[in-house]
Copies of this chain bind each other. A is one copy, B any other.
């Protein structure tokens, strides 16, 4: 079983988001488990992040990848990091500089600004898509 931990801020308020996330988590059941660590503010996020030896910060100014490149990168990282990966999504002000500075690779989903709720959904859908690309299923087409 592969594990993905997502550090983020603020509760999931929208019912549609909870339902969309549940759909993708269900599709990955038995294969990938998503653990949501929802901090109450940036300080708590920073504290939790300090306990992670490796983390992928999501940042609009980070590196843009296409889904095929992300798929290869994700699979390689799962191998390198012992089947466990951690992502961090910032709140309204983005991620603290102190966190960004610790890691060389920052991933940008898009130069567009998304709500952090939509960012969660895009992240989970891209993780699901990454495995479908590897399997060669028709999903990603």
Contact check, B110 vs A110: say whether CB atoms are below 8 A apart.
yes
Interface size class of A (residues with CB under 8 A): 20 to 34
Q: Is A85 located at the chain interface by the 8 A CB criterion?
A: no
Stretch of A16-24, A26-34, A38-46, A50-58 that contacts chain B? A16-24
State how many angstroms separate the Cβ of A113 from the closest Cβ of chain B: 4
Q: Find A19's partner among B15, B118, B122, B140 (CB 8 Å cutoff).
A: B15
Q: How far is the CA of A110 from the CA of B62 in the complex (A)?
A: 13
Q: Is A129 located at the chain interface by the 8 A CB criterion?
A: yes
Q: Is A66 located at the chain interface by the 8 A CB criterion?
A: yes
Contact check, B125 vs A70: say whether CB atoms are below 8 A apart.
no
Contacts of A23 in B (CB 8 A): 14, 16
A residues 105-135 with Cβ under 8 Å of B? 109-115, 118, 121-122, 125-126, 129
- Which one of A14, A16, A126 has the greatest number of beta carbons of chain B within 10 Å? A16
Copy number in the complex reads 2
Q: How far is the CA of A92 from the CA of B112 in the complex (A)?
A: 22
State how many angstroms separate the Cβ of A90 from the closest Cβ of chain B: 12
21 contacts between A and B (CB under 8 A): A14-B20, A14-B23, A15-B19, A16-B17, A17-B20, A19-B19, A20-B20, A60-B66, A65-B112, A66-B111, A66-B113, A67-B112, A70-B112, A92-B141, A110-B110, A113-B129, A113-B140, A114-B122, A115-B125, A118-B122, A118-B125
